[in-house]
Amino acid sequence: MPDAVLTQGRASLSADSSALEVRLAARHDGFTGHTSGVASAHVQVNLAILPAALADDFRRYCELNPMPCPLLAVSEPGSPALPALGLDLDVRTDVPRYHLWRHGERVAEVNDLRACWRDDLVTFALGCSFSFEHALLAAGISLRHVSEGRNVAMYRTNIPTRGVGVFAGPTVVSMRPMKAADAIRAVQITARTPQVHGAPIHIGDPRLIGIADIGRPDYGDAVAVHDDELPVFWACGVTPQAAIVAARPEFCITHAPGYMLVTDKLNSEL
């Protein structure tokens, strides 16, 4: 495991941690590491936090693009709670890293939102591919980025989403290299959980979905794809982030890709 992870307060967290342990570690104990592979029985979610004026359009955008944007919960305006996903849960503090955006430009990466919170902010929680990794690992399918302690590799594609109002843009995918037999099983396993992206949207040649260089992900960390493996691509919850950035709202907040909110919901409930 890279030193960077160990120095981010992750040393005490593991696949067996409870969701609340991970949230409290982020809230109080300086945990700022990525969440791939921690509390692995639990649903992890992507966050998009937007001014209320944009909330209706964004909700509709998610509904029209359910594979990259599987909507699991929406907050009341101004509330940092998401009671459907956990009772002791504060979206302002419980994510290891957040990105702050103004007019489509990232202006800061922070570990706490309390200083910039506003009464009109609406939080959207979207399903994340980390959630189905638990099922893949349970089926004996090895995931290279997990075994190497890296963030999953993510790429912008040439597959457009269906636009609503100011929200539009390309589908972002996460990629996991697998032998063909595992890829076939992974299709069957992930197809069962449409709330966390469902089946892959592409397998094989990355150029066919507009990825020029598989070795240079747009988000996360590169992993090797061996000669006897296929890259397998799932729609990714970073997709709505890309749409939000392109929409250039005067202010918004996202989680940092790979640094998710870990909820009390179990993957087995999906």
Q: Which residues bind a second copy (CB under 8 A)?
A: 180-181, 183-185, 187-188, 191, 199-205, 208, 228, 230
Phi/psi of residue 144, each to 5°?
Answer: -60, -40
**Do 164 and 215 contact (CB within 8 A), yes or no?**
no
Please state whether beta strands 98-102 and 153-160 pair in parallel, antiparallel, or not at all (unpaired). unpaired
What's the min distance (Å) between Cβ of 209 and a second copy? 8
DSSP string, the chain: --HHHIIIIITT--TT--HHHHHHHHHHS---S--TTSSTTEEEEEEEEEEGGGHHHHHHHHHH-TTT--EEEEPPTT----TTT-SS--TTTSSS-EEEEETTEEEEEES--GGG--TTEEEEEEE-HHHHHHHHHHTT---HHHHTT-PPEEEEEEEEPPPBTTB--EEEEEEEEE-HHHHHHHHHHHHT-GGGT-S-SEES-GGGGT-S-TTS-SBS------TT-EEEEEE-THHHHHHHHHH--SSEEEEPTT-PEEEEEEGGG-
What's the min distance (Å) between Cβ of 240 and a second copy? 21
* Closer by beta carbon to a second copy, 225 or else 244: 225
* Closer by beta carbon to a second copy, 6 or else 208: 208
* Closer by beta carbon to a second copy, 41 or else 203: 203
* Closer by beta carbon to a second copy, 78 or else 204: 204
What's the min distance (Å) between Cβ of 201 and a second copy? 7
* Closer by beta carbon to a second copy, 121 or else 230: 230
What's the min distance (Å) between Cβ of 242 and a second copy? 21
Q: How many Å apart are CA 41 and CA 80, to the nearest integer?
A: 24
* Closer by beta carbon to a second copy, 144 or else 185: 185
* Closer by beta carbon to a second copy, 180 or else 266: 180
What's the min distance (Å) between Cβ of 184 and a second copy? 5
Six-digit token string for 5: 């992870």
Q: How many Å apart are CA 206 and CA 145, to the nearest integer?
A: 18
What's the min distance (Å) between Cβ of 78 and a second copy? 41
What's the min distance (Å) between Cβ of 45 and a second copy? 24
What's the min distance (Å) between Cβ of 21 and a second copy? 36
* Closer by beta carbon to a second copy, 51 or else 194: 194
